[in-house]
Amino acid sequence: MLVQVISKHFDVPDMNTLAVAKEHGAYAGLAEVFAGSPQAVHDAVCDSGLRGKGGGGAKAAGKWELMHHHEGPRYVIVNADESEPGTFKDRQIIEKDPHLLIEGIILTCYAVGANDAYIYIRGEYRQFADILQRAIDEAYAERLLGSDTRYGYRVDLTLHRGGGAYICGEKSALVESLEGNRGHPRLKPHTPSPEFYFGQAALVNNVETIASVPFIAYNGGEAYRAYGTPESPGTLLFGLSGHVEKPGIYEAPFGVPMLAFIEQVGGGVRNGKKLKAVIPGGASTPILTAEEVAKATLDYESLKALGSSLGTGGMIVMDETTDMVKALKNLLRFYHHESCGQCTPCREGTGWADRLLERFIAREATEEDLETLRSVSGTMNGKTICVFAPAASSVIDGFLKRFEEEFRACIKKA
């Protein structure tokens, strides 16, 4: 069930150092790639069917192709602002094999015609930022980065620490922050377009997406398609947290049964208790009941069919003792705190929903409060600039749809 594409060297001692990374093949294929054309790397990614691993799941090649429609400087920006509750996979790459990420950035820059790259890392990830900066410094010292590289193509890489705002995980807010502005999401264009960094085309990809590029560039798209499903090819670093015996990060191909993954890889529900629910892909994906988990496979299509989303693959497991009202309150407290406040439905809606849950927890809620919670959720969905409010709305709707009886039990009797 488990495979090792991204995680191949995670257990190698000192793999975060350049000397050890090179002993295990890091950067060894660059000379051959740079002897060929940038288009060859692009074509390999296209053939692989690589999908973005930051939550959206869009095909990476589509975003890369948009870069070639713009003249002038181009930029590659790596989204390492991993702030989604239940999601902790990117930090594994940064801590265990940072040179894999750097190698992926070099290859991506070559493929899309960029010479400057940035990694925007979550502000709270200080220890991981330090590891990554040391790896970047080593790469510069070995002329793998810089203006005078071994392979004759300039790639300069800058690490930027964010200020700890969850909203900066949204790509346009990330770029705004990187430009020195407040991290507010931008209005989306009506036609497919890259992001723009100081007016120039920029490719924004997640850490794991970029870390997948070396395997694809060196082995070809078909080698990557050997894993996963036809619609969701390749692998993902799946996270397990919550009421599970063996929490952690495990790499598996897309398409494995969710329940089998929890039982066989995660050791099952903790302390022999029964499974009640799973949030499948980080806190912003709708919750699933145990019955739905038994039907689900870990791929984009299966989770969508069940009314949820694969997201980042960060599964939060909940056992039979979980109070779903308190669980939703915990999530809504987070959304209330992290709303950037730019859009009224989000700014007011997240706070309103959070306060309503306090009435349910105190068992002072009314039938009207339940309908108000549904109404607030509907007001947030589809009426804001970014997907923050719709995500919060889908979380609320998921809990109310699947565990309504627990919320009704909190309504005070007349």
DSSP per position, 71-100: -S--EEEEEE----TT--SHHHHHHH-HHH
* Share of residues in the chain with pLDDT > 90 (%): 98
Residues 75 and 179 in one domain: yes
381 in Cβ contact with 389 (< 8 Å) = yes
Residues 114 and 216 in one domain: yes
Q: Give the CATH number, domain containing residue 402.
A: 1.20.1440.230
Residues 52 and 134 in one domain: yes
Residues 177 and 143 in one domain: yes
At 270 the three-state DSSP class reads helix
Record the pTM.
Answer: 0.96
| Average pLDDT of the residues in 82-101 | 97
Residues 181 and 304 in one domain: no
- Name the nearest CA neighbour of 188 among 397, 353, 387, 404: 387
102 in Cβ contact with 135 (< 8 Å) = yes
Which residue, 303, 319, 335, sits at the end of a domain?
319
Look up residue 176 and give its two tokens. Answer: 């705004």
Residues 273 and 366 in one domain: no
Residues 156 and 57 in one domain: yes
31 in Cβ contact with 151 (< 8 Å) = yes
For tokens 């005070």, the residue is: 412
Residues 251 and 384 in one domain: no
For tokens 């997406």, the residue is: 209
Residues 247 and 373 in one domain: no
Q: Give the CATH number, domain containing residue 307.
A: 3.10.20.600
Enumerate residues 6+ apart whose C-beta is below 8 A from 338.
83, 165, 166, 167, 388
- Name the nearest CA neighbour of 95 among 131, 134, 61: 131
| Average pLDDT of the residues in 165-184 | 97
Beta bridge partners of 77: 118, 204
Look up residue 64 and give its two tokens. Answer: 């890369």
118 in Cβ contact with 157 (< 8 Å) = yes
Which residue, 260, 285, 319, sits at the end of a domain?
319
Q: Is residue 87 part of a domain?
A: yes
Beta bridge partners of 279: 316
Q: Is residue 10 part of a domain?
A: no
Quote the Cα angle for 136-220-65, to 5°.
Answer: 75
Report residue 413's pLDDT band, with 50, 70 and 90 as the boundaries. Answer: confident
pLDDT tens, residue by residue, 190-246:
899 999 999 999 999 999 999 999 999 999 999 999 999 999 999 999 999 999 999
- Which domain covers residue 313, as residue numbers? 235-319
Question: Counting Cβ atoms within 10 Å, is residue 367 exposed (0-12), middle (13-18) or buried (19+)?
Answer: exposed
Cα distances (Å, whole numbers) of residue 360 to 328, 367, 371, 379: 11, 11, 13, 20
Residues 177 and 190 in one domain: yes
Residue 32 CB coordination number (10 Å)? 11
Q: Is residue 167 part of a domain?
A: yes
d(CA 217, CA 223): 10
Quote the Cα angle for 407-410-414, to 5°.
Answer: 125
φ, ψ of residue 349 to 5 degrees: the values are -70, -40
Residues 205 and 256 in one domain: no
At 296 the three-state DSSP class reads coil
pLDDT given for residue 190 in this prediction: 87
Cα distances (Å, whole numbers) of residue 177 to 39, 67, 165, 282: 31, 21, 10, 23
95 in Cβ contact with 121 (< 8 Å) = no
Q: Is residue 12 part of a domain?
A: no
Q: Give the CATH number, domain containing residue 70.
A: 3.40.50.11540
Residues 66 and 204 in one domain: yes
Q: Is residue 66 part of a domain?
A: yes
Does pLDDT of 414 surpass 70? no
Q: Is residue 6 part of a domain?
A: no
Buried-state track 18-31, b at ≥16 Cβ within 10 A, e below 16 = bebbeeeebbeebe
pLDDT tens, residue by residue, 251-280:
999 999 999 999 999 999 999 999 999 999
Which residue, 225, 254, 281, sits at the end of a domain?
225
- Name the nearest CA neighbour of 57 among 334, 297, 299, 245: 299
pLDDT given for residue 167 in this prediction: 97
| Average pLDDT of the residues in 79-88 | 96
For the chain, the domain total comes to: 3
Q: Is residue 230 part of a domain?
A: no
